[in-house]
Amino acid sequence: RIAEISENTKKMAAVKEENGTALHPGAEDRSEEYSAYSLARQKLEHLLNKSMRIRMTDGRTLVGLFLCTDRDCNVILGSAQEFLKSTDSFSQGEPRVLGLAMIPGHHVVSIEVETDSLQSSPCF
């Protein structure tokens, strides 16, 4: 029985080596990288469908529900509204309804999560 288990272990190791998933020197570093990646992914997933305010390089502000992002930091907002930068610092002006909006990452100046949407999220 022990010989059979040992043989199965060798076969699994050979398959892992073929797939490139065998443990190599530096595998611990990759494990830490994966852990950091996993944590960052969980934080982003927690923000899904939360209301966000994104300020852009041209002075506009978009407010909407965070739907997704990608490696280039492009952001997709649902039910988005656009607020133009007003000359009067006291008024925000009338919002323009956009619906679904894609904001290129290189135009993002800042992103704020509205606290109301964080507090109203259901606890799991």
Dist CA 54 CA 92 (whole Å):
14
Task: Specify the higher pLDDT residue, 5 or 46.
Answer: 46
Quote the mean pLDDT of the chain: 78
Beta-strand runs (E) in the chain: 51-56, 61-69, 75-83, 96-103, 108-113
Q: What size, in residues, is the chain?
A: 124
Structure tokens at 32: 């830490």
pLDDT band at 70 (very low <50, low <70, confident <90, very high): very high
Rounded percentage of the chain residues whose pLDDT exceeds 90: 48
Full-model pTM: 0.65
Alpha-carbon dihedral angle through residues 7, 11, 12, 16, given to the nearest 10 degrees: 150
Task: Specify the higher pLDDT residue, 93 or 62.
Answer: 62
